[in-house]
Structure 1
């Protein structure tokens, strides 16, 4: 287990114990990454902020029963953010809010966010087809590692190991991109 995963495990335990400072620590650690991810899912600054806020609220509410397959918190947060984005899209489609056009060309904030996320798509594209499919199943479609393993005919351990390697590769790209 790497240092980051151990830190996530400790952070998750603190959250489960109801430590408010743990939520602040989680926010400081993951809000920038979640915000970049949310820009790929939403079309306005307000929607992005709502997705990030809802994701951390869900983390706080579910911290007591959180069971992370790899003790890494970021994949769980990304899936929760994506699920909130789907719910947000459904609300927009039902007329609960003003509909947003699917493509917003010429909007500097959206165009900038898409450009900044290009490296994520590029990094995922360099993965093996199996690893790309695992990312798709677990991060985009919300399947558990066990479900992804069953779909792909792999063991849960193999999926976990592949996710860990892919996560490390993406993390390295993120750290390089941010510094």
Structure 2
């Protein structure tokens, strides 16, 4: 893509030769578009900013070997942005997975812990069939998302989204003790 007289190819070649101002020109040209796209993939401002920054850092790091299939770097940047967003989502899912057992095991009183766990199991049982099965496989039985996806004939993305949604619901029950 050309804006003025400089092509994206020229910007990438300048970056490949260590020109930091070329990175700034690429950022000026595409940051707004990448930010809007990142908002479609992430819910948190900090995550969006990190995803966009990581995308431009990847551009900087790969400039020497980057071959643009078109006269614009935008499609490549969008794919990189999407990949960084998915990686951010996976990191957060692992962090949440680590936090949920700690929250369930936190009470010193075993009777209280059993009671909390009963509410969680009740909430899981109340989920729609597919969500319930995914929670049982991933959260209770310890299967990976890809294993659960294969067992249920779903995509890994679908399993990830359903687990995330169910975890939010379960966390709300555990943390707010709605019952």
Task: Name the residue aligned to 1:79.
Answer: 79
1:6–1:71 contact (8 Å) kept in structure 2: no
Distance 2:59 2:25 in 1: 12
Q: Does 1:9 align with 2:9?
A: yes
Map 1:109-148 → 2, pairs under 5 A: none
1:92–1:98 contact (8 Å) kept in structure 2: no
Counterparts in 2 of 1:3 and 1:54: CA distance versus 1, 3 Å = closer
Distance 1:19 1:94 in 2: 37
Task: Name the residue aligned to 2:141.
Answer: none
Distance 1:60 1:44 in 2: 25
- Deviates further, 63-72 or 20-29: 63-72
Determine which structure has greater relative contact order: mean sequence separation of CA pairs < 8 Å that are 6+ residues apart, divided by chain length.
1
Q: Deviation of residue 71 (structure 1)?
A: 3.0
List per-residue Cα deviations over 1:37-91 (Å, max 9, x = no partner).
0000000100000000000110111111101111310000000000001111110
Q: Does 1:36 align with 2:61?
A: no
Q: Secondary structure at the match of 2:63?
A: helix
Task: Name the residue aligned to 1:95.
Answer: 95
- Runs ≥4 in structure 1, deviation > 2 angstroms? 2-6, 96-99
* Gap regions ≥5 residues in structure 2: 100-179
Task: Name the residue aligned to 1:65.
Answer: 65
| Count, aligned residues | 98
Distance 2:35 2:97 in 1: 21
Counterparts in 2 of 1:47 and 1:10: CA distance versus 1, 3 Å = same
List per-residue Cα deviations over 1:124-147 (Å, max 9, x = no partner).
xxxxxxxxxxxxxxxxxxxxxxxx
TM-score (norm 2): 0.50
Q: Deviation of residue 3 (structure 1)?
A: 3.8
* Gap regions ≥5 residues in structure 1: 100-179
Task: Name the residue aligned to 2:165.
Answer: none
CA RMSD, Structure 1 to Structure 2 (Å): 2.3
